[in-house]
Structure 1
């Protein structure tokens, strides 16, 4: 009886499939995006190749290609993974400038955590990234509700993003990036300005981000008829 049951179990295709499944998480697009993000974070963008990604996932390259067609598609998955962390909820409820403040601070913090991706994401097309497009939709809709002329919305977003990406890189720059060392006497105005900022006790990157964002906001029209 026991032998018969064992033979039937062995012959059962469903039982064979279950026994043959890997113990870990099955390969899927979110898992691929997370692995690619870790790879870039640990070793830089140049380390992201399809073979390196397959190795990091513990699968063959052919298994990886069953889920994504190219490195470009992987990057679009990564873009969606990262952009999904950016808080754009304020554009539905807050006055435009307050919404921009919340979005810009979140955006900058997210990319400060993923700084190696800034040069890649900044020039990556969004057509294959639905969550990224949803973020832009929320932002554009917020500008439109504030009465902005539609032809000026994209230039405003790009101007803000250019500042945000630069600020994200500044957030991970060395704290002593502006140390002038023994050349202080040759650049007295700059050296004095550096010392003066330090004397405030404020984090230099955060101080610069807040100052720059407010300067940008003063130049952005806030409502109908001013765009």
Structure 2
């Protein structure tokens, strides 16, 4: 008798089935043919091992295997005060960076979270409210990136938005039920750039958004030149 497997034949703890189907219907690249998808783990997120045939540049075919970690897509926002030239970031404990060499795991980064069924703009408004108590008005899409394309499927939708004293209407801190304990960190934009160089800000999405703000965003030379 074949045993039913959670997440494939019967719902897992999150009510999901068919988790071994991801990638089987891909047709965008004729040089890639998916042969098998194995479900290795399905806790909160999903770990799969996929076997596929790949046609190399010389025309030969090779069989490859890759493990992918699927946690869904995410969204993040750089909150900035255009007149005071400050940014509003978060500080929280991140165990994965702590176990991989970060001095104390207390990570400074932009407000962010998984989409969890929302569209990216709605998700980032939710996260800014939960983590920093900020109600976002104008919201600017900046770019969407894959930060670890060798193994993690997550695409992060990156935004920027101005904030002010009037828009900081909540306590923030994150959701205690989710184990979040998040502090707000406000600092001059120039200080944030210096902390990239010193290694105090080491989060990829945050660094990209800060660099964008300096080169093409609200603190760029062109933006400064447009001010009256």
Highest Rg: 1 or 2? 1
TM-score between the two structures when normalised by the length of structure 1: 0.27
TM-score between the two structures when normalised by the length of structure 2: 0.27
Bigger helix share:
1
Bigger strand share:
2
